[in-house]
């Protein structure tokens, strides 16, 4: 066998074909695997071309049927899941850029996906195992029913949505940089077997390997190799106590944080051993190595306080750390450790450190309320550490840095506007939504604080998600124009003004407002008693409460400097594109379902789809399953019937031109496909498969 390091570009270029043998399992990567690969790739892209990512090995064997002429066929003995996933991603990039960058789309076809001058199945650079080939070939050939609900289709739609999320309209080259990173910056070890090797025996041995060394193991081994005379002393006094404070994963993160705090904002957690080894290699003598281990031990104690705030002795700082922990976002760790280090070194008092951490919290909460996705947040907060440099990280300095260009720190007015229209219930993750509502309740300054930890509170929709006729009648009183009660309900039900916390979610259910008032009035929570004081609960009351909660939120979470770049309240249109990218072939949805997910109105959704080139827009129909009479293709030269297109994709229509109700995706289905954190207990058993 022969092993060599290569890139995906080198692997795929040329007259070659990679065939996955029958004994391999079908394509099986799940959402978590796709997300991890995507984050690794984005980390490489963010490095500006200076970093690479080791993807693993691909074991290949020449096909016995090869001849000196024609396409050279290689059997993929190991690594087929990674190779297939990367090919799906390249296919998604091709389709994403086809309208804007036809040259890049053609390049991807010619270099990575097709053998241009071959015939039949030899045209395809990759041939997955037989069970996956029909789905894969549909993607390659851009068939109408490509991107279905199988694993190949799921992976394709995952990447289509991910590309929409990161595609910056102000940066014409961002998608091309992703293609370059995939093709040239992912390191792969190509292991080529000899024609006489037993390929199946190789496959069996590769799948019976032992537990690999972690990056923490490698770093420890390297350090103590550099300490020939002091290893025992340093291990007992520094490394062992450090190791007992943290898990292996936390230790690896700490070693990465050490690089970030030293100004390396390009450091990636998957290559932390190599980066630290390179830096430590410049240290001379055992004294400097020991000093670094001692310093890392100090940082471990501070990092432990971030992970376990109950270990922080100062009450105010403990509460600030606990709030960040409850927010449950690892992206805060670099700036939090910088603040804690400044406090430990005497540059910040506990009160000043608390204020600094609250600015970071404000930045995250405001972005979530406004609907700005989390993509890029990690880069912003990593770069923040470098931008601050040697400046003491006070609240004022952090606010100044986060108010800079392209940071997207939402202003007060943007928060006010967003609270009225945004679908808060599907923003962020469930614990973050609960966190915001809990903080709003705590701002009432109870004489007897609520025991949130043991009260088993959940989020309650006052106007229920499934309204009864009584609720629909109430909404009918406030309709305007051609609006229906269902339209108004969809616009109001998930907004912040309609949500509260209660331990009686099951009892409240879909009851009328009079029945709900009795339970809410007896609540220990001030916000519930305020709701119970209302005479009715319709659009007017929900919007008034939204405005009041927005003002309370602005007091809790301070905003950017006045000079900060403001951003238009348009995240819903980006979310619209993300949601539609997730609709599989053979399924359809309605304008009202899309409107409910993104926090808009069905008419606005229709207008947007009619005036923009958005993938899968033809899969959005009227609630009855009919094509809207106002539907127009964005391309004025396109005249084909959308019903014909949908039928070719697998959607069934009756004699009256109505799509099958069984193939409709509800708002909840769309939210789940788009990876929104959906919590709808009464619909939990429904599936989009």
Instruction: Give the distance between the most distant pair of CA atoms in the chain.
Output: 86
- Residue 595's pLDDT band, with cuts at 50, 70 and 90, is confident
- Give the model confidence (pLDDT) of 247-298 as tens digits: 989 999 999 999 999 988 777 777 788 888 888 889 888 999 999 999 999 9
pLDDT above 90 coverage of the chain, percent: 52
The helix-helix angle for 315-327 and 285-307 (nearest 10°) equals 80
DSSP SS3 for 60: strand
Q: Specify the range with the lowest mean pLDDT, choosing from 294-298, 376-380, 393-397, 598-602.
A: 598-602
Residues forming beta bridges with residue 186, ordered by sequence position: 53
Residue by residue, what is the 3-state secondary structure of 83-117?
HHHHHHHHHHHHHHHCCCCHHHHHHHHHHHHECCC
| pLDDT number for residue 679 | 59
Query: Can you list the alpha helix ranges (DSSP code H) found in 371-484?
Result: 377-388, 395-402, 412-421, 430-442, 469-476
Residue 189 has pLDDT above 60, yes or no: yes
Cβ contacts of 154 within 8 Å, gap of 6 or more: 31, 584
Q: How far apart are CA 225 and CA 145, in angstroms?
A: 58
Q: Which pairing describes strands 589-590 and 620-621: parallel, antiparallel, or unpaired?
A: parallel
Residue 392 has pLDDT above 90, yes or no: yes
Tokens representing 19 are 């065939």
Q: Which residue has the tokens 């099951």?
A: 506
Q: How far apart are CA 524 and CA 449, in angstroms?
A: 9
- Residue 682's pLDDT band, with cuts at 50, 70 and 90, is very low
Which H helix or E strand runs over 258? helix 248-261
Residue 689 has pLDDT above 70, yes or no: no
Q: How far apart are CA 205 and CA 496, in angstroms?
A: 55
Question: Are the beta carbons of 136 and 154 closer than 8 angstroms?
Answer: no
- Give the model confidence (pLDDT) of 323-339 as tens digits: 999 998 889 999 999 99
Which H helix or E strand runs over 4? strand 2-7
DSSP annotation of 540 = H
CA atoms within 13 A on the CB side of 39: 15
- Residue 445's pLDDT band, with cuts at 50, 70 and 90, is confident
Q: What is the mean pLDDT of residues 221-245?
A: 88
Q: Which residue has the tokens 């004081």?
A: 533
Residue 674 has pLDDT above 80, yes or no: yes
Q: Which pairing describes strands 53-62 and 186-192: parallel, antiparallel, or unpaired?
A: parallel
DSSP annotation of 604 = H
Q: How far apart are CA 61 and CA 195, in angstroms?
A: 7
The helix-helix angle for 571-581 and 151-166 (nearest 10°) equals 160
Residue 51 has pLDDT above 60, yes or no: yes
- Give the model confidence (pLDDT) of 523-565 as tens digits: 888 999 999 999 999 999 999 999 999 999 999 999 999 866 6
| pLDDT number for residue 570 | 60
Instruction: Give the E-state strand segments of 222-345 in sequence order.
Output: none
Q: Which residue has the tokens 């008032």?
A: 517
Question: Are the beta carbons of 668 and 683 closer than 8 angstroms?
Answer: yes
Which H helix or E strand runs over 344? helix 333-344
- Give the model confidence (pLDDT) of 420-439 as tens digits: 988 899 888 888 999 999 99
The Cα angle at residue 686 between residues 681 and 689, in degrees rounded to 5: 145
- Residue 406's pLDDT band, with cuts at 50, 70 and 90, is confident
Cβ contacts of 236 within 8 Å, gap of 6 or more: none
pLDDT above 70 coverage of the chain, percent: 92
pTM of the full predicted structure?
A: 0.77
Cβ contacts of 73 within 8 Å, gap of 6 or more: 16, 17, 18, 19, 62, 63, 65, 66, 122
Q: How far apart are CA 76 and CA 40, in angstroms?
A: 23
Residues forming beta bridges with residue 502, ordered by sequence position: 458
Over the range 290-318, which residues count as b (16 or more CB within 10 Å of their CB) and which as e? bebbeebbebbebbbbbbebeebebebbb
Q: How far apart are CA 369 and CA 426, in angstroms?
A: 10
Tokens representing 260 are 């970030």
Dihedral sign computed on CA atoms, order 338, 340, 345, 346: positive
User: From the centroid of its chain, how far is CA 178?
Assistant: 17
Q: Specify the range with the lowest mean pLDDT, choosing from 165-169, 200-204, 292-296.
A: 200-204
Residue 481 has pLDDT above 70, yes or no: yes
Q: What is the mean pLDDT of residues 431-460?
A: 84
Neighbours of 134 (CB within 10 A): 13
- Residue 154's pLDDT band, with cuts at 50, 70 and 90, is very high
| pLDDT number for residue 147 | 92
Q: How many residues does the chain have?
A: 689
- Residue 1's pLDDT band, with cuts at 50, 70 and 90, is low
Long-range contacts (CB closer than 8 Å, 24 or more residues apart) made by 400-404: 400/561, 402/359, 402/363, 402/560, 403/560, 403/561, 403/563, 403/564, 404/564, 404/565
Q: Pick from 156-165, 424-433, 678-687 the range whose average pLDDT is largest.
A: 156-165
- Give the model confidence (pLDDT) of 59-106 as tens digits: 888 887 777 777 889 989 888 999 999 999 999 999 999 988 999 999
Residue 655 has pLDDT above 60, yes or no: yes
Per the model's pLDDT, the better-predicted residue between 468 and 685 turns out to be 468
| pLDDT number for residue 141 | 95
Q: How far apart are CA 341 and CA 348, in angstroms?
A: 9
- Residue 601's pLDDT band, with cuts at 50, 70 and 90, is confident
Question: Are the beta carbons of 203 and 23 closer than 8 angstroms?
Answer: yes
Question: Are the beta carbons of 487 and 592 closer than 8 angstroms?
Answer: yes
| pLDDT number for residue 215 | 83
User: From the centroid of its chain, how far is CA 289?
Assistant: 38
Dihedral sign computed on CA atoms, order 112, 116, 120, 122: negative
Dihedral sign computed on CA atoms, order 471, 472, 475, 476: negative
| pLDDT number for residue 684 | 36
DSSP annotation of 374 = S
Cβ contacts of 543 within 8 Å, gap of 6 or more: 420, 497
Q: How far apart are CA 256 and CA 337, in angstroms?
A: 12
Residues forming beta bridges with residue 598, ordered by sequence position: none
């Amino acid at each position: 066998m022969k092993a060599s390091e290569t890139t995906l570009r080198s692997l795929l270029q040329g007259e070659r074909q990679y065939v996955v043998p029958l004994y391999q399992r079908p394509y099986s990567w799940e959402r978590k695997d796709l997300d991890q690969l995507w984050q690794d790739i984005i980390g490489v892209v963010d490095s500006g071309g200076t970093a690479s990512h080791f993807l693993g090995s691909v074991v290949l064997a020449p096909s016995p049927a090869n001849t000196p002429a024609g396409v050279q066929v290689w059997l993929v003995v190991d690594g087929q899941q990674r190779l297939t996933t990367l090919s799906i991603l390249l296919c998604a990039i091709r389709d994403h850029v086809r309208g804007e960058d036809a040259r890049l789309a053609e390049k991807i076809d010619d270099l990575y996906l097709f053998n241009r001058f071959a015939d039949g199945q030899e045209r395809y650079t990759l041939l997955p195992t037989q069970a996956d080939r029909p789905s894969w070939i549909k993607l390659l050939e851009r068939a109408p029913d490509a991107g279905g609900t199988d694993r190949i289709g799921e992976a394709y739609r995952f990447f289509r949505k991910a590309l929409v999320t990161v595609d910056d309209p102000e940066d014409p080259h961002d998608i091309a940089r992703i293609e370059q990173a995939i093709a040239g910056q992912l390191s792969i070890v190509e292991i080529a077997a000899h024609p006489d090797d037993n390929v199946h025996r190789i496959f069996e041995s590769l799948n019976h390997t032992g537990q690999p060394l972690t990056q923490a193991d490698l770093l420890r081994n390297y350090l103590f190799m550099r300490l020939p005379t002091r290893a025992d002393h340093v291990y007992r006094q520094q490394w062992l106590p450090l190791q007992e404070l943290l898990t292996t994963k936390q230790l690896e993160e700490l070693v990465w944080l050490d690089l970030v705090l030293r100004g390396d904002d390009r450091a990636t957690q998957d290559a932390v051993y190599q980066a630290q080894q390179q830096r430590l290699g410049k240290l001379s003598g055992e004294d400097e190595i020991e000093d670094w281990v001692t310093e890392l031990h100090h940082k471990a104690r501070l990092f432990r306080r971030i992970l376990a705030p109950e270990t922080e002795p100062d009450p105010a700082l403990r509460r600030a750390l606990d709030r960040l922990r409850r927010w449950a976002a690892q992206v805060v760790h670099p700036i939090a450790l910088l603040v804690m280090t400044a406090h430990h070194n005497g540059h910040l008092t506990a009160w000043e450190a608390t204020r600094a951490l609250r600015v970071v919290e404000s930045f995250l909460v405001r972005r979530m309320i406004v609907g700005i996705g989390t993509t890029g947040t990690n880069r912003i907060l990593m770069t923040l550490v470098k931008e601050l440099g040697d400046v003491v990280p006070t609240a004022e300095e952090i606010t100044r840095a986060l108010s800079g260009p392209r940071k997207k720190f939402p202003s007060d007015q943007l928060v006010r506007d967003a609270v009225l229209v945004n679908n808060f219930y599907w923003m962020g993750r469930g614990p973050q939504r609960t966190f915001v509502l809990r903080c709003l309740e705590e701002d009432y300054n109870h004489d007897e604080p609520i025991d949130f930890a043991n009260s088993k509170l959940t989020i309650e929709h006052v106007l229920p998600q499934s309204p009864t006729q009584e609720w629909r009648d109430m909404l009918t009183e406030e309709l305007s124009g051609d609006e229906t009660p269902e339209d108004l309900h969809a616009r109001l039900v998930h907004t912040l003004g309609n949500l509260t916390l209660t331990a009686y979610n099951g009892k409240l259910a879909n009851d009328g407002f009079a029945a709900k008032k009795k339970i809410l009035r007896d609540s220990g929570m001030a916000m519930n008693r305020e709701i119970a004081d209302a005479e009715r609960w319709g659009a007017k009351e929900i919007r008034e409460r939204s405005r009041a909660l927005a003002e309370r939120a602005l007091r809790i979470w301070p905003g950017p400097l006045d000079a900060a770049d403001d951003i238009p309240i348009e995240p819903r249109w980006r979310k619209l594109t993300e949601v539609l990218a997730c609709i599989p072939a053979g399924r359809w949805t309605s304008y009202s379902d899309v409107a409910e997910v993104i926090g808009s109105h069905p008419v606005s959704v229709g207008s947007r789809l009619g005036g923009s080139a958005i993938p899968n827009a033809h899969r959005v129909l009227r609630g009855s399953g009919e094509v809207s009479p106002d539907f127009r293709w964005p391309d004025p030269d396109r005249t084909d019937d959308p019903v014909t297109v949908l039928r070719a994709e697998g959607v069934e229509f009756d004699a009256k031109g109505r799509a099958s109700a069984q193939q409709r995706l509800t708002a909840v289905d769309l939210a789940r496909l788009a990876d929104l954190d959906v919590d709808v207990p009464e619909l939990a058993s429904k599936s989009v498969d």
